Amino acid sequence: MAKVLVIGSGGREHALGWKIAQSEEVEEVLYAPGNPGMLEGKCKVVPVDGSKIENADAISNLIEQENIDLTVVGPEAPLAAGLVNTLNNRGHNRVFGPTKQASLLESDKFYSYDIMKEIGIPQANSMKCFSTQDAVNAIKIMSETEGVVIKARGLTGGKGVTVCDSKEEALTEISNHAENYGSHVLIAERLFGQEFSVFGISDGEQVSPLEISIQDHKPLLDGDKGPNTGGMGAYGPAPVASAEVVKKVADDIMTPVVQEMKKKGTPYKGFLYGGMIMTEKGPKVIEFNIRFGDPECQPGMMMVESDMYKALSYAVDGKLNEVDFKFKPGAACCVVLASQGYPGSYEKGLLIKGIEEAEQISAVKVFHAGTREVENGDGRFVTAGGRVLGVTGYSPAGISEAQKVAYNAVSKISIPGGWAYRQDIADKALK
Ligand code: AMP
Ligand code: GLY
């Protein structure tokens, strides 16, 4: 029996650990640091914040003391900072996540742009700029396109992209952008079409995709209005990309990228997230991320039929082709319940009621992202973050039913003053 360590503390990590714990081969799932909502079944939380690279030694000690068989890293920050390298150097080789060098696929947009260009992957036309003057010149050259996108080169927590309607707007925005995110930018052609995401597991050689596309809802308010957030809900399968399209993205885009990275001596093992846009000319890449999406992971894990421990375990061993990865029929829908004020400042410590009642509905799972346990509070929870819960419903009958299941569960859960949440998650699938 195996012990698995999940690094991170959000809804994504809860969903991963919840699914991994369903494996008959898993004895225990530990989360570092996790959150108290993850304390269920064979899971426990340990007080080491593995998402901070300065705790790499503590994580390594934990792996030894607890005799951990497989470590799964959720968030991008410790990956891009080299957590996997440090663990590998200490002799821990069963770690699922890319090394620092392979993480450049997300942490350096110039690197991912170059790789895609070298092997002819469809992406937005763009130019690498090393100074604001370069960027100004590029914007002028790009003026033939309908709008221009300014993208910071490095990691910006999803904030370093400015989509401009015109060349004039881009020329006005550029100095502001440089001040906030640095002068190295990609100036890209603006693409039009519905966005979708494809998630794959890579063993360094090939990519096995989740056979469904998952659509996130980044803006705070219904109808895609308001400021951008980390994601207010997600559902899958998204009709914009059929299972065939997803497979094509995995075979013709993700696998070639992974094979090219292997050739370059920086093999990529881990979750691979393709941020895609369905243009009139077919799917094009907007960006790659080196991790699972959050909240996308929550409906994603609800749809996985197979043993997730086994899949990830075979992937770290480079034997993904020996796994038959299966999915459930139907659909899943996740509605994020957030604190009023998110993505700005918000109050914490509000008592949450109704989680148990929601989970009594069949095929509902409430994943915890920002909760804290009330001291001596009989397992009651209070809010402790911006995105607090991911209320996720599944139905074999499809997205309309899955959406009803999720919103029925949402109606059971309350805090004083009410939640900030979207009432239209998955509506796009029903139009
Ligand atoms: P990224 O961080 O690269 O995923 O970009 C964040 C968001 O900016 C995406 O989800 C898109 O909505 C938008 N975006 C990025 N690149 C482009 C592009 N070339 N054309 C249109 N929209 C884009
Ligand atoms: N939900 C978007 C992301 O995880 O990047």
Token pair for 347? 């109050």
Cα of 165 vs its chain's centroid, Å: 27
Q: Whose CA is nearest to atom 4 of ligand 2?
A: 293
Q: Whose CA is nearest to atom 7 of ligand 1?
A: 161
Output the DSSP codes for 187-205. EEEPP-SEEEEEEEEEESS
Token pair for 179? 């001040």
What's the confidence (pLDDT) of residue 159?
A: 83
In one-letter notation, the amino acid at residue 129 is C
State the CB neighbour count (10 A cutoff) for residue 351.
13
Index of the ligand 1 atom closest to the CA of residue 189: 19
Of 112, 146, 149, 290, the one to substitute when testing ligand 1's pocket (max ligand atoms within 8 A of C-beta) is 149
Q: How many helices (H) and strands (E) does the chain have?
A: 15, 22
Output the DSSP codes for 119-168. TT--B--EEEESSHHHHHHHHHHGGGSSSEEEEESS--TT--EEEESSHH
Tell me if the domain spanning 2-99 has CATH number 3.30.1340.10: no
- Domain positions in the chain are 2-99, 125-189, 194-322, 331-430
What's the confidence (pLDDT) of residue 143?
A: 60
Closest ligand by atom to 271 CA? 2
CA of 292 to the centre of ligand 2 (A): 8
Query: Which among 417, 407, 421, 425 has a CA at the least distance from the CA of 382?
Result: 417
Query: Which among 37, 44, 14, 45 has a CA at the least distance from the CA of 355?
Result: 37
96 and 128 Cβ atoms separated by less than 8 Å = no
Indicate the CATH number for domain 331-430: 3.90.600.10
80 and 103 Cβ atoms separated by less than 8 Å = yes
Which residues, 6+ apart, have CB-to-CB distance to 404 below 8 Å? Answer: 393, 395
Instruction: Give backbone dihedrals phi and psi of 45, rounded to 5 degrees, phi first.
Output: -110, 145
d(CA 11, CA 390): 6
Pocket lined around ligand 1, Cβ cut-off 6 Å: 124, 149, 151, 158, 161, 163, 188, 190-191, 195, 275, 286-287
d(CA 77, CA 85): 13
Q: Which residues pair with 300 in a beta bridge?
A: none
More confident residue, 36 or 375: 36
More confident residue, 376 or 172: 172
Pocket lined around ligand 2, Cβ cut-off 6 Å: 158, 216, 230-231, 289, 293-294, 296
In the predicted model, what is the mean pLDDT of residues 141-159? 85
Output the DSSP codes for 256-323. HHHHHHHHTT---EEEEEEEEEEETTEEEEEEEESS--TTTHHHHHHHB-S-HHHHHHHHHTT-GGG-
What's the confidence (pLDDT) of residue 431?
A: 84
Q: Whose CA is nearest to atom 5 of ligand 2?
A: 293
- Dihedral sign (CA 361, 363, 369, 372): positive
Indicate the CATH number for domain 125-189: 3.30.1490.20
- pLDDT greater than 80 at residue 144: no
In the predicted model, what is the mean pLDDT of residues 219-228? 95
- pLDDT greater than 80 at residue 158: no
Of 127, 163, 217, 224, the one to substitute when testing ligand 1's pocket (max ligand atoms within 8 A of C-beta) is 163
- pLDDT greater than 90 at residue 286: yes
Which range is least confidently modeled, 92-101, 155-164, 362-371? 155-164
Predicted TM-score of the model (pTM): 0.95
Give residue 117's pLDDT band: very low, low, confident or very high (50, 70, 90).
very high
Determine the topology of domain 194-322 in CATH.
D-amino Acid Aminotransferase; Chain A, domain 1 (3.30.470)
Cα of 89 vs its chain's centroid, Å: 27
Q: Which residues pair with 357 in a beta bridge?
A: none
d(CA 57, CA 229): 32
Q: Which residues of 53-88 are buried (b: 16+ CB within 10 A; e: fewer)?
A: bebbebbbebbeeeebbbbbbbbbbbbbbbbbbbbe
Index of the ligand 1 atom closest to the CA of residue 289: 4
d(CA 322, CA 302): 23
Share the mean pLDDT of the chain.
95
Query: Which among 84, 137, 149 has a CA at the least distance from the CA of 113?
Result: 149
CA of 334 to the centre of ligand 2 (A): 13
Index of the ligand 2 atom closest to the CA of residue 158: 5
State the CB neighbour count (10 A cutoff) for residue 245.
17
What tens digit of pLDDT does each residue of 229-275 get? Answer: 999 999 999 999 999 999 999 999 999 999 999 999 999 999 999 99
- pLDDT greater than 90 at residue 16: yes
- pLDDT greater than 90 at residue 288: yes
Give residue 142's pLDDT band: very low, low, confident or very high (50, 70, 90).
confident
Q: Whose CA is nearest to atom 3 of ligand 2?
A: 293
CA of 169 to the centre of ligand 2 (A): 26
What tens digit of pLDDT does each residue of 21-48 get? Answer: 999 999 999 999 999 999 999 999 999 9
Index of the ligand 1 atom closest to the CA of residue 218: 10
Token pair for 248? 């094509």
- pLDDT greater than 90 at residue 186: yes
- Dihedral sign (CA 267, 272, 274, 275): negative
